[in-house]
Structure 1
Amino acid sequence: MTGVFATADELVAASGRDLGTTGWVEVDAARAATFSQVTADEGWGDGLPGTLVLSYAAALLAEVFAVPGASMGVNYGLDDVRFGDPVPVGSRVRLRARIDEAAPGRGGAVQVAVGVVIERDGTAEPACTARLLARFHFEGG
Protein backbone atom coordinates (compact mmCIF):
# COMPACT_ATOMS: atom_id res chain seq x y z
CA MET A 1 0.00 0.00 0.00
CA THR A 2 1.39 3.37 -0.98
CA GLY A 3 -0.50 5.75 1.32
CA VAL A 4 -0.53 4.83 5.01
CA PHE A 5 -0.65 7.75 7.44
CA ALA A 6 -0.25 7.40 11.20
CA THR A 7 -0.38 11.06 12.25
CA ALA A 8 -2.13 14.28 11.30
CA ASP A 9 1.24 15.80 10.35
CA GLU A 10 2.03 12.90 7.98
CA LEU A 11 -1.36 13.29 6.31
CA VAL A 12 -1.02 17.06 5.88
CA ALA A 13 2.49 16.61 4.46
CA ALA A 14 1.06 14.22 1.84
CA SER A 15 -0.89 16.97 0.08
CA GLY A 16 -0.26 16.57 -3.65
CA ARG A 17 0.96 12.98 -3.35
CA ASP A 18 -0.03 10.26 -5.83
CA LEU A 19 -1.41 7.21 -4.06
CA GLY A 20 -1.13 4.88 -7.02
CA THR A 21 -3.41 2.55 -8.92
CA THR A 22 -5.41 -0.41 -7.62
CA GLY A 23 -5.75 -3.82 -9.16
CA TRP A 24 -8.56 -4.58 -11.60
CA VAL A 25 -11.93 -5.76 -10.30
CA GLU A 26 -14.80 -7.17 -12.34
CA VAL A 27 -18.17 -5.45 -12.24
CA ASP A 28 -20.28 -8.58 -11.91
CA ALA A 29 -23.94 -9.12 -12.73
CA ALA A 30 -24.89 -10.09 -9.16
CA ARG A 31 -23.66 -6.79 -7.73
CA ALA A 32 -25.35 -4.81 -10.52
CA ALA A 33 -28.65 -6.62 -9.89
CA THR A 34 -28.48 -6.04 -6.14
CA PHE A 35 -27.66 -2.37 -6.68
CA SER A 36 -30.61 -2.03 -9.07
CA GLN A 37 -32.97 -3.60 -6.54
CA VAL A 38 -31.80 -1.38 -3.70
CA THR A 39 -31.97 1.83 -5.72
CA ALA A 40 -35.02 0.88 -7.85
CA ASP A 41 -32.96 1.93 -10.88
CA GLU A 42 -33.37 -0.76 -13.50
CA GLY A 43 -33.47 1.35 -16.68
CA TRP A 44 -29.78 1.70 -17.35
CA GLY A 45 -29.54 -0.21 -20.64
CA ASP A 46 -26.05 -1.15 -21.79
CA GLY A 47 -24.06 0.83 -19.22
CA LEU A 48 -24.39 0.59 -15.46
CA PRO A 49 -25.61 3.57 -13.45
CA GLY A 50 -22.80 5.98 -12.63
CA THR A 51 -23.67 5.72 -8.96
CA LEU A 52 -22.85 1.99 -9.05
CA VAL A 53 -19.50 2.73 -10.67
CA LEU A 54 -18.82 5.41 -8.05
CA SER A 55 -19.72 2.96 -5.27
CA TYR A 56 -16.59 0.99 -6.16
CA ALA A 57 -14.42 3.98 -5.18
CA ALA A 58 -14.46 3.42 -1.40
CA ALA A 59 -13.53 -0.25 -1.57
CA LEU A 60 -10.86 0.31 -4.21
CA LEU A 61 -9.42 3.33 -2.40
CA ALA A 62 -8.74 1.11 0.61
CA GLU A 63 -6.08 -0.66 -1.52
CA VAL A 64 -3.94 2.49 -1.74
CA PHE A 65 -4.98 4.74 1.18
CA ALA A 66 -5.31 4.16 4.92
CA VAL A 67 -5.19 6.36 7.99
CA PRO A 68 -4.75 3.89 10.87
CA GLY A 69 -3.57 6.69 13.16
CA ALA A 70 -6.95 8.44 13.03
CA SER A 71 -9.42 7.83 15.84
CA MET A 72 -12.27 8.54 13.41
CA GLY A 73 -12.76 9.15 9.71
CA VAL A 74 -15.87 10.87 8.38
CA ASN A 75 -17.12 10.86 4.80
CA TYR A 76 -17.56 14.58 4.20
CA GLY A 77 -18.94 14.42 0.67
CA LEU A 78 -18.07 14.55 -3.01
CA ASP A 79 -16.99 17.28 -5.42
CA ASP A 80 -16.67 17.39 -9.17
CA VAL A 81 -18.26 14.00 -9.93
CA ARG A 82 -18.30 13.19 -13.63
CA PHE A 83 -19.38 10.01 -15.42
CA GLY A 84 -17.61 9.40 -18.72
CA ASP A 85 -17.51 6.02 -20.42
CA PRO A 86 -20.38 3.61 -19.68
CA VAL A 87 -19.49 0.44 -17.75
CA PRO A 88 -21.25 -2.71 -18.98
CA VAL A 89 -21.65 -5.74 -16.71
CA GLY A 90 -18.54 -7.90 -16.99
CA SER A 91 -16.20 -4.91 -17.40
CA ARG A 92 -13.12 -4.54 -15.26
CA VAL A 93 -12.45 -1.30 -13.40
CA ARG A 94 -9.61 0.08 -11.33
CA LEU A 95 -8.94 3.30 -9.47
CA ARG A 96 -6.12 5.86 -9.58
CA ALA A 97 -5.92 8.21 -6.62
CA ARG A 98 -4.08 11.34 -5.54
CA ILE A 99 -4.31 13.44 -2.39
CA ASP A 100 -5.27 16.76 -3.95
CA GLU A 101 -5.27 18.55 -0.63
CA ALA A 102 -4.82 17.75 3.06
CA ALA A 103 -5.18 20.66 5.44
CA PRO A 104 -5.50 21.05 9.21
CA GLY A 105 -9.04 21.70 10.37
CA ARG A 106 -10.88 22.47 13.56
CA GLY A 107 -10.09 20.48 16.68
CA GLY A 108 -7.00 18.83 15.23
CA ALA A 109 -8.87 17.18 12.38
CA VAL A 110 -7.43 16.97 8.88
CA GLN A 111 -9.65 17.76 5.91
CA VAL A 112 -8.65 15.66 2.90
CA ALA A 113 -9.66 15.83 -0.77
CA VAL A 114 -8.69 12.73 -2.73
CA GLY A 115 -8.96 12.92 -6.50
CA VAL A 116 -9.99 9.60 -8.00
CA VAL A 117 -10.26 8.30 -11.53
CA ILE A 118 -12.12 5.05 -12.14
CA GLU A 119 -10.84 3.50 -15.34
CA ARG A 120 -12.53 0.79 -17.42
CA ASP A 121 -10.24 -1.78 -18.97
CA GLY A 122 -9.87 -1.26 -22.71
CA THR A 123 -11.09 2.35 -22.90
CA ALA A 124 -9.24 5.65 -22.88
CA GLU A 125 -11.94 7.80 -21.27
CA PRO A 126 -12.48 7.39 -17.52
CA ALA A 127 -15.70 5.78 -16.36
CA CYS A 128 -15.82 8.25 -13.47
CA THR A 129 -13.80 11.06 -11.93
CA ALA A 130 -14.48 12.63 -8.54
CA ARG A 131 -12.99 14.30 -5.49
CA LEU A 132 -13.75 12.34 -2.34
CA LEU A 133 -13.83 14.52 0.76
CA ALA A 134 -13.08 13.16 4.22
CA ARG A 135 -12.27 14.49 7.64
CA PHE A 136 -9.92 12.51 9.87
CA HIS A 137 -9.78 13.06 13.63
CA PHE A 138 -6.74 12.20 15.72
CA GLU A 139 -6.50 11.61 19.48
CA GLY A 140 -5.32 14.65 21.35
CA GLY A 141 -6.19 16.87 18.42
Structure 2
Amino acid sequence: MSAVAEKVMFNSAAAVLASVGRPLGETEWMQISQQRIDQFADATGDHQWIHVDPEKASSGPFGACVAHGYLTLSLANLFLPQLVAYEGLKMGVNYGCEKVRFPAPVLVDSWVRGSGEVVAAAPLGDNGVQVTIRITVQVRNQDKPGCVVETISRLFFQ
Protein backbone atom coordinates (compact mmCIF):
# COMPACT_ATOMS: atom_id res chain seq x y z
CA MET A 1 0.00 0.00 0.00
CA SER A 2 1.44 3.39 -0.95
CA ALA A 3 2.00 6.18 1.53
CA VAL A 4 -0.18 9.26 1.50
CA ALA A 5 1.61 12.17 -0.14
CA GLU A 6 1.94 15.52 1.56
CA LYS A 7 -0.51 18.20 0.51
CA VAL A 8 0.79 20.27 -2.43
CA MET A 9 1.05 23.99 -1.58
CA PHE A 10 0.67 26.77 -4.15
CA ASN A 11 1.45 30.38 -3.22
CA SER A 12 0.78 32.26 -6.47
CA ALA A 13 -1.04 32.15 -9.78
CA ALA A 14 2.33 31.61 -11.46
CA ALA A 15 2.98 28.53 -9.33
CA VAL A 16 -0.39 27.07 -10.33
CA LEU A 17 0.23 27.88 -14.01
CA ALA A 18 3.59 26.08 -13.83
CA SER A 19 2.02 22.96 -12.31
CA VAL A 20 0.12 21.61 -15.33
CA GLY A 21 0.74 17.88 -15.54
CA ARG A 22 1.73 17.64 -11.90
CA PRO A 23 0.35 14.70 -9.92
CA LEU A 24 -1.03 15.68 -6.50
CA GLY A 25 -0.76 12.34 -4.73
CA GLU A 26 -3.42 10.39 -2.90
CA THR A 27 -5.60 10.86 0.17
CA GLU A 28 -6.16 8.44 3.03
CA TRP A 29 -8.61 5.60 2.43
CA MET A 30 -12.13 6.04 3.79
CA GLN A 31 -15.01 3.59 4.00
CA ILE A 32 -18.37 4.21 2.35
CA SER A 33 -20.84 3.04 4.99
CA GLN A 34 -24.55 2.41 4.61
CA GLN A 35 -25.09 5.27 7.04
CA ARG A 36 -23.28 7.69 4.68
CA ILE A 37 -25.35 6.40 1.75
CA ASP A 38 -28.58 6.77 3.75
CA GLN A 39 -27.66 10.31 4.81
CA PHE A 40 -26.99 11.24 1.19
CA ALA A 41 -30.34 9.72 0.22
CA ASP A 42 -32.05 11.82 2.91
CA ALA A 43 -30.23 14.98 1.79
CA THR A 44 -31.13 14.52 -1.89
CA GLY A 45 -34.44 12.68 -1.71
CA ASP A 46 -33.00 9.81 -3.78
CA HIS A 47 -34.17 6.72 -1.90
CA GLN A 48 -33.93 4.26 -4.79
CA TRP A 49 -33.76 0.70 -3.43
CA ILE A 50 -30.38 0.00 -5.01
CA HIS A 51 -28.91 2.51 -2.54
CA VAL A 52 -30.99 2.14 0.63
CA ASP A 53 -32.59 -1.31 0.76
CA PRO A 54 -29.87 -3.86 1.63
CA GLU A 55 -32.27 -6.84 1.42
CA LYS A 56 -33.60 -6.00 -2.03
CA ALA A 57 -30.16 -4.83 -3.26
CA SER A 58 -28.64 -8.18 -2.25
CA SER A 59 -30.56 -9.78 -5.12
CA GLY A 60 -29.96 -6.83 -7.47
CA PRO A 61 -27.32 -6.43 -10.18
CA PHE A 62 -24.44 -5.68 -7.79
CA GLY A 63 -25.33 -8.02 -4.92
CA ALA A 64 -25.36 -5.18 -2.38
CA CYS A 65 -26.27 -1.51 -2.00
CA VAL A 66 -24.22 0.92 -4.05
CA ALA A 67 -23.34 4.53 -3.34
CA HIS A 68 -25.16 7.11 -5.42
CA GLY A 69 -23.07 8.35 -8.34
CA TYR A 70 -23.53 11.88 -7.07
CA LEU A 71 -22.34 10.84 -3.61
CA THR A 72 -19.17 9.47 -5.18
CA LEU A 73 -18.82 12.68 -7.22
CA SER A 74 -19.29 14.83 -4.10
CA LEU A 75 -16.23 13.19 -2.55
CA ALA A 76 -14.13 15.36 -4.89
CA ASN A 77 -15.06 18.25 -2.57
CA LEU A 78 -13.76 16.24 0.39
CA PHE A 79 -10.57 15.02 -1.32
CA LEU A 80 -9.47 18.22 -3.11
CA PRO A 81 -8.42 20.16 0.03
CA GLN A 82 -6.63 17.03 1.28
CA LEU A 83 -4.47 17.10 -1.86
CA VAL A 84 -3.81 20.81 -2.40
CA ALA A 85 -3.64 24.01 -0.37
CA TYR A 86 -3.13 27.65 -1.23
CA GLU A 87 -1.05 30.24 0.62
CA GLY A 88 -1.82 33.92 0.09
CA LEU A 89 -5.16 33.17 -1.48
CA LYS A 90 -7.55 36.13 -1.43
CA MET A 91 -10.50 34.17 -2.81
CA GLY A 92 -11.23 30.85 -4.45
CA VAL A 93 -14.48 29.66 -5.99
CA ASN A 94 -15.73 26.46 -7.59
CA TYR A 95 -16.38 27.26 -11.23
CA GLY A 96 -17.70 23.88 -12.35
CA CYS A 97 -16.78 20.41 -13.51
CA GLU A 98 -15.90 18.75 -16.79
CA LYS A 99 -15.95 15.15 -17.96
CA VAL A 100 -17.69 13.50 -15.03
CA ARG A 101 -17.66 9.70 -15.38
CA PHE A 102 -18.66 6.76 -13.16
CA PRO A 103 -16.62 3.84 -14.57
CA ALA A 104 -17.49 1.37 -11.77
CA PRO A 105 -19.99 1.10 -8.92
CA VAL A 106 -18.96 1.83 -5.34
CA LEU A 107 -20.46 -0.91 -3.20
CA VAL A 108 -21.46 -0.30 0.41
CA ASP A 109 -18.52 -0.75 2.81
CA SER A 110 -16.00 -0.22 -0.01
CA TRP A 111 -12.85 1.74 0.76
CA VAL A 112 -12.16 4.75 -1.47
CA ARG A 113 -9.53 7.45 -1.76
CA GLY A 114 -8.88 10.40 -4.01
CA SER A 115 -5.95 11.05 -6.28
CA GLY A 116 -5.37 14.24 -8.20
CA GLU A 117 -3.56 15.81 -11.11
CA VAL A 118 -3.41 19.39 -12.41
CA VAL A 119 -4.59 19.05 -16.02
CA ALA A 120 -4.97 22.69 -17.11
CA ALA A 121 -4.44 26.25 -15.92
CA ALA A 122 -5.06 29.65 -17.49
CA PRO A 123 -4.38 33.17 -16.18
CA LEU A 124 -7.23 35.39 -14.97
CA GLY A 125 -6.05 38.97 -14.70
CA ASP A 126 -2.92 39.90 -12.74
CA ASN A 127 -3.17 37.56 -9.76
CA GLY A 128 -5.81 35.05 -10.79
CA VAL A 129 -5.83 31.62 -12.34
CA GLN A 130 -8.42 29.11 -13.49
CA VAL A 131 -7.19 25.62 -12.65
CA THR A 132 -8.58 22.25 -13.69
CA ILE A 133 -7.73 19.38 -11.37
CA ARG A 134 -8.70 15.82 -12.22
CA ILE A 135 -9.88 13.92 -9.16
CA THR A 136 -10.07 10.15 -9.42
CA VAL A 137 -12.05 8.29 -6.76
CA GLN A 138 -10.18 5.01 -6.52
CA VAL A 139 -11.88 1.95 -5.05
CA ARG A 140 -9.70 -0.51 -3.16
CA ASN A 141 -9.33 -3.85 -4.98
CA GLN A 142 -11.03 -2.58 -8.14
CA ASP A 143 -9.28 -1.86 -11.43
CA LYS A 144 -11.75 0.85 -12.44
CA PRO A 145 -12.39 3.98 -10.37
CA GLY A 146 -15.77 4.89 -8.94
CA CYS A 147 -15.61 8.40 -10.39
CA VAL A 148 -13.33 10.59 -12.47
CA VAL A 149 -14.06 14.31 -12.58
CA GLU A 150 -12.23 17.41 -13.72
CA THR A 151 -12.92 20.14 -11.17
CA ILE A 152 -12.52 23.76 -12.20
CA SER A 153 -11.61 26.43 -9.67
CA ARG A 154 -10.95 30.13 -10.01
CA LEU A 155 -8.27 31.36 -7.61
CA PHE A 156 -7.25 34.92 -6.83
CA PHE A 157 -4.04 35.52 -4.92
CA GLN A 158 -3.05 38.63 -2.95
Place the TM-score, normalised by the shorter chain, in its bin: over 0.9
* Counterparts of 1:29 and 1:7, CA distance in 2: 41
TM-score (norm 2): 0.83
Larger radius of gyration: 2
* Counterparts of 1:44 and 1:110, CA distance in 2: 43
Paired residue for 1:89? Answer: 108
* Counterparts of 1:114 and 1:44, CA distance in 2: 33
* Counterparts of 1:132 and 1:7, CA distance in 2: 19
Q: Identity across aligned pairs (percent)?
A: 34
Paired residue for 2:89? Answer: 70
Paired residue for 2:99? Answer: 80
The offset of 1:38, in angstroms, is 1.0
Paired residue for 2:19? Answer: 14
* Counterparts of 1:39 and 1:107, CA distance in 2: 39
Paired residue for 2:145? Answer: 126
* Counterparts of 1:69 and 1:95, CA distance in 2: 25
Paired residue for 1:115? Answer: 134
Assess if the C-alpha contact under 8 Å between 2:32 and 2:67 holds in 1: no
Paired residue for 1:3? Answer: 8
Count, aligned residues = 139
Q: Could you report, residue by residue, the CA deviation over 1:28-54 in whole angstroms, capped at 9, with x for unpaired residues? A: 222211110010101151321110011
Partner of 1:62: helix, strand, or coil?
helix
Q: 1:18-33 alignment to 2 at 5 Å?
A: 18-33=23-38
Partner of 1:119: helix, strand, or coil?
strand
Aligned-residue CA RMSD (Å):
1.3
Moved more, 100-109 or 65-74: 100-109
Amino acid at match of 1:36: A
* Counterparts of 2:96 and 2:114, CA distance in 1: 18
The offset of 1:68, in angstroms, is 2.5
The offset of 1:107, in angstroms, is 5.1
Q: How has the CA–CA distance of structure 1 residues 93 and 44 changed in structure 2, closer, same or farther, with 3 Å as cutoff?
A: farther
1:53 aligns with 2:72: yes
Amino acid at match of 1:97: G
Query: Which ranges of 4 or more aligned residues in structure 1 deviate by more than 4 Å?
Result: none
TM-score (norm 1): 0.92
In structure 1, the gaps of 5 or more residues are none
